[in-house]
């Protein structure tokens, strides 16, 4: 039996002190010298101390470390890309796109780090350096402050510093830039791209600290994007559910330059194919008016429009500052007309904004705006929010890169252009067989384009897919066989809900047909496509129960299929405007 007053009944102050001293290292901040390294594994920070202390990782994992360096600095070690450098210890790391870039940033400054290996490509270190300066041709918005060649840890470094016109529409805009390109050899480079809200500081120290290390891990993509719930009107929700959720069979669409203004050429083609296309691809640009009548024409024939708005002019000389002008509000009148027109139309429209942004043939590519894809992201959100404020609730947003980024540089990777789940409803796929008419372009079999593209997108996106445009040239190979192969592979792509053939021509500089994607170019192409389409009988969107079969319309249709009173001269003018030819001639 224990007595009162013995140590077992109440701990003494010495015992309490001993326990507190024993617990001290785990419960209080420790000095910089004893701080454990922070580890990022497969895009996520490692939480457990034991796992942090174990620096033996499998080579297929994606691993980075941040270690305390001098006061106020830390060493960022990228084991997956083979380098390290010192950065301020207040910066946070984002390795979600590790296979594309590393991002280190705070509220003011952002550093993007890219690695490029140009083996088996048309690029080289020297062409990369020269080509990545193309935006400087726009001297109105870009002011070069410094350019020099320096040496860092045995590597030649091309250094460039500049600033651009600030954009009030960009939240926390970073218009001050610097870039350092480290030439590892003639085919490999590392790039540090700095962006800041104010004139840069300490970037020279960071640049001079860059060192190559052994590559002991594997970079990856650690993202999984998915759509969000929308507050569409009833008709748009029914349309989306019918074609993109519940429909077990893929629907087909087409780009025919005259439709939906004039249906005559399309009707002739559909008669040959014994198939009615449900979706029509329509292009508009900064010189266009809102296509009210064309949307009405399509609705009268139970067709649905993929409305593509490209914020550039047909006259390329006017496009040097395409995105900057948009963000400065220069084209708000156009956005107002489109927002109001879509709202008044009321029925669902697939809205494809600035497609193929990862191609330098588009003036809204980052190639034209400081290699900075955040400018594109801001422009997309600017248009989206403009429509939201206007109360547009019948638009389905289609985000659509090209399958082949050009230039093929890491800073131009298509994923760096993704504006975020809140702004995207459908993922568009685009890949062409351009044929061999233009020098340097290969014949691309269907199985080399879409199976790998589809598989990669399925790993990254949970959205429904739509092939917004595709086709095969007839120059350089067997187009009939290409069509048969396409229909052979299509059934495995269960998440592709709509596929749209681009029935047009890309012309060379002399006005000769270069890439001929037209189906009605030859009877054998029509026959092959008709055979493939015979397997698809996608029903049209059923009417809402109780809805009148014949709504009051705003136009009359003549027997030839020309609507809205447009004569042949008007139709030809519209064709010239709409047939933009996304895959540019060289």
The overall average pLDDT reported for the chain is: 89
pLDDT beyond 80 at 373: yes
pLDDT beyond 70 at 17: no
The pair of three-digit structure tokens given for residue 60, joined into one six-digit string:
């297929």
The pair of three-digit structure tokens given for residue 46, joined into one six-digit string:
């490692």
- Report yes or no: 304 and 350 within 8 Å, Cβ to Cβ: yes
pLDDT beyond 50 at 583: no
Confidence (pLDDT) at 542: 78
The stretch 508-522 carries a mean pLDDT of 97
The stretch 331-350 carries a mean pLDDT of 99
Q: Using only C-alpha atoms, what is the Rg of the chain? A: 28
d(CA 283, CA 579): 7
Confidence (pLDDT) at 55: 58
Contacts of 395 (CB under 8 A, 6+ apart): 236, 342, 348, 349, 351, 387
The stretch 206-212 carries a mean pLDDT of 98
pLDDT beyond 80 at 256: yes
Longest Cα–Cα distance in the chain:
112
Question: What are residue 350's DSSP bridge partners?
Answer: 306, 396
Instruction: Report percent pLDDT > 70 for the chain.
Output: 85
What are the φ and ψ backbone dihedral angles of 296, each rounded to 5 degrees? -65, -45
Confidence (pLDDT) at 449: 98
d(CA 564, CA 546): 28
The stretch 473-478 carries a mean pLDDT of 98
Q: How many CA atoms lie within 13 A of 488 on its CB side?
A: 10
pLDDT in tens, 263-295: 999 999 999 999 999 999 999 999 999 999 999
Confidence (pLDDT) at 47: 73
Nearest to 129, CA basis, from 439, 407, 359, 440: 407
pLDDT beyond 70 at 324: yes
Confidence at 56, pLDDT banded by 50, 70, 90 = low
In terms of Cβ atoms closer than 10 Å to its own Cβ (0-12, 13-18, 19+), residue 389 is exposed
Confidence at 545, pLDDT banded by 50, 70, 90 = low
Kindly tell me the sign of the dihedral angle through the C-alpha atoms of 59, 62, 68, 70: positive
Question: What are residue 370's DSSP bridge partners?
Answer: none
User: Among 62-66, 416-420, 545-549, which stretch is predicted with the lowest mean pLDDT?
Assistant: 545-549
Confidence (pLDDT) at 54: 55
Confidence (pLDDT) at 65: 96
Question: What are residue 45's DSSP bridge partners?
Answer: 40
- Bigger pLDDT: 2 vs 203: 203
In terms of Cβ atoms closer than 10 Å to its own Cβ (0-12, 13-18, 19+), residue 265 is middle
Confidence (pLDDT) at 211: 98
For the annotated catalytic residues, the residue numbers are: 356, 469
Three-class secondary structure of residue 334 per DSSP? helix
The stretch 537-554 carries a mean pLDDT of 61
The stretch 34-59 carries a mean pLDDT of 71
d(CA 552, CA 309): 28
The pair of three-digit structure tokens given for residue 452, joined into one six-digit string:
């790998």
DSSP string, 239-298: HHIIIIII--S-EEEEE-TTTTTB-HHHHHHHHHHT---SEEEEEEETTPPP-HHHHHHH
Confidence (pLDDT) at 22: 40
User: Among 176-180, 428-432, 553-557, which stretch is predicted with the lowest mean pLDDT?
Assistant: 553-557
The pair of three-digit structure tokens given for residue 128, joined into one six-digit string:
């990369």
pLDDT beyond 70 at 576: no
The stretch 407-413 carries a mean pLDDT of 98
pLDDT beyond 60 at 570: no
Confidence (pLDDT) at 275: 97
- Report yes or no: 258 and 297 within 8 Å, Cβ to Cβ: no
What are the φ and ψ backbone dihedral angles of 141, each rounded to 5 degrees? -105, -15
Tokens 């801001």 sit on residue: 378
- Report yes or no: 218 and 80 within 8 Å, Cβ to Cβ: yes
- Bigger pLDDT: 35 vs 337: 337
Confidence (pLDDT) at 417: 99
Confidence at 53, pLDDT banded by 50, 70, 90 = low
The stretch 21-39 carries a mean pLDDT of 47
Confidence (pLDDT) at 347: 98
Nearest to 220, CA basis, from 334, 62, 339: 62
Other beta carbons less than 10 A from residue 286's beta carbon? 19
Q: Where are the domains of the chain?
A: 36-212, 234-277+291-311+344-359+400-578
Question: What are residue 430's DSSP bridge partners?
Answer: 469
The stretch 138-154 carries a mean pLDDT of 97
pLDDT beyond 70 at 180: yes
- Helix, strand, coil shares, percent, the chain, to 5: 30, 25, 45
The stretch 83-87 carries a mean pLDDT of 98
Confidence at 163, pLDDT banded by 50, 70, 90 = very high
> Which ranges in 390-494 belong to alpha helices (H)?
446-460, 479-489
Confidence (pLDDT) at 277: 97
pLDDT beyond 70 at 38: yes
Confidence (pLDDT) at 39: 94
d(CA 412, CA 176): 19
pLDDT beyond 70 at 555: no
pTM: 0.88
Confidence (pLDDT) at 538: 72
pLDDT beyond 80 at 143: yes
pLDDT in tens, 441-475: 999 999 999 999 999 999 999 999 999 999 999 99
**Cis amide leading into 360 (omega within 30):** no
Contacts of 311 (CB under 8 A, 6+ apart): 285, 286, 322, 323, 326, 331, 353, 354, 364, 379, 383
Indicate the fold that domain 36-212 takes in CATH: Protein Transport Mog1p; Chain A (3.40.1000)
Tokens 């409803």 sit on residue: 425
pLDDT beyond 50 at 561: no
Confidence (pLDDT) at 58: 66
The domain made up of 234-277+291-311+344-359+400-578 is a member of CATH 3.40.50.300:
no
Confidence at 500, pLDDT banded by 50, 70, 90 = very high
Nearest to 196, CA basis, from 162, 165, 164, 173: 173
């Amino acid at each position: 039996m224990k007595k009162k007053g013995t140590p077992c009944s109440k701990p003494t102050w010495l015992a309490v002190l001993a326990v507190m001293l024993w617990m001290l290292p785990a419960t209080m901040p420790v000095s910089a010298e004893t701080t454990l390294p922070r580890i990022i594994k497969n895009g996520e920070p490692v939480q457990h101390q034991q796992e942090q202390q174990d620096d033996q990782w499998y080579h297929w994992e994606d691993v980075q470390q941040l270690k305390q360096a001098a006061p106020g600095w830390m060493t960022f070690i990228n084991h997956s890309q083979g380098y390290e450098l010192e950065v301020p210890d207040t910066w946070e790391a984002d390795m979600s796109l590790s296979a594309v870039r590393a991002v280190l940033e705070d509220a003011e400054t952002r550093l993007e780090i890219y690695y490029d290996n140009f083996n088996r490509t048309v690029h080289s270190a020297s062409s990369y350096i020269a080509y990545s300066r193309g935006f400087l041709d726009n001297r109105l918005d870009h002011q070069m402050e410094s350019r020099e060649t320096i040496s860092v840890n045995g590597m030649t470094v091309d250094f460039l510093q500049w600033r651009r016109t600030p954009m009030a529409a960009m939240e926390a805009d970073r218009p001050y830039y610097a870039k350092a390109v480290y030439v590892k050899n003639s085919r490999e480079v590392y790039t540090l791209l700095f962006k800041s809200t104010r004139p840069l500081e300490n970037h020279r120290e960071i640049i001079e600290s860059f060192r190559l290390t052994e590559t002991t891990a594997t970079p990856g993509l650690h993202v999984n994007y998915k759509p969000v719930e929308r507050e569409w009107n009833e008709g748009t929700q029914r349309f989306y559910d019918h074609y993109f959720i519940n429909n077990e069979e893929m629907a087909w669409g087409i780009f025919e330059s005259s439709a939906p203004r004039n249906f005559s050429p399309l009707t002739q083609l559909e008669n040959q194919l014994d198939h009615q296309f449900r979706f029509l691809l329509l292009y508009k640009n900064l010189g266009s008016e809102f296509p009210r009548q064309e949307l009405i024409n399509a609705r009268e024939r139970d067709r649905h429009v993929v409305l593509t708005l490209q914020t550039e002019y047909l006259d390329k000389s006017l496009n040097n500052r395409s995105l900057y002008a948009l963000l400065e509000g220069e084209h708000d009148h156009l956005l107002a007309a489109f927002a109001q027109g879509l709202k008044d139309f009321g029925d669902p429209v697939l809205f494809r904004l600035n497609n193929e942004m990862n191609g330098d043939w588009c003036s809204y590519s980052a190639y034209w705006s400081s290699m900075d894809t955040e400018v594109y992201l801001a422009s997309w959100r600017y248009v989206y929010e403009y429509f939201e404020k206007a109360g547009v609730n019948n638009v389905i947003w289609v985000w659509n890169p090209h399958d082949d980024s050009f230039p093929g540089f890491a800073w131009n990777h298509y994923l760096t252009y993704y504006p975020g789940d809140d702004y995207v409803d459908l993922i568009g796929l685009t890949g062409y067989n351009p044929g061999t008419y233009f020098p340097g372009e290969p014949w691309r079999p269907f199985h080399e384009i879409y199976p790998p593209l589809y598989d990669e997108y399925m790993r990254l996106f949970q959205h429904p897919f739509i092939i917004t445009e595709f086709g095969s040239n007839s120059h350089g190979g067997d187009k009939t066989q290409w069509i048969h192969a396409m229909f052979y592979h299509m059934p495995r792509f269960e998440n592709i809900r709509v596929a749209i053939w681009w029935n047009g021509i890309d012309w060379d500089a002399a006005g000769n047909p270069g890439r001929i994607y037209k189906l009605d170019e030859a009877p054998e192409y029509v026959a092959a496509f008709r055979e493939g389409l015979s397997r698809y009988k996608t029903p049209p969107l059923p009417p809402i129960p109780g809805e009148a079969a014949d709504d009051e319309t705003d136009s009359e249709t003549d027997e030839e299929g020309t609507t809205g009173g447009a004569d042949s001269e008007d139709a030809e003018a519209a064709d010239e405007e709409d047939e933009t030819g996304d895959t540019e001639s060289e």
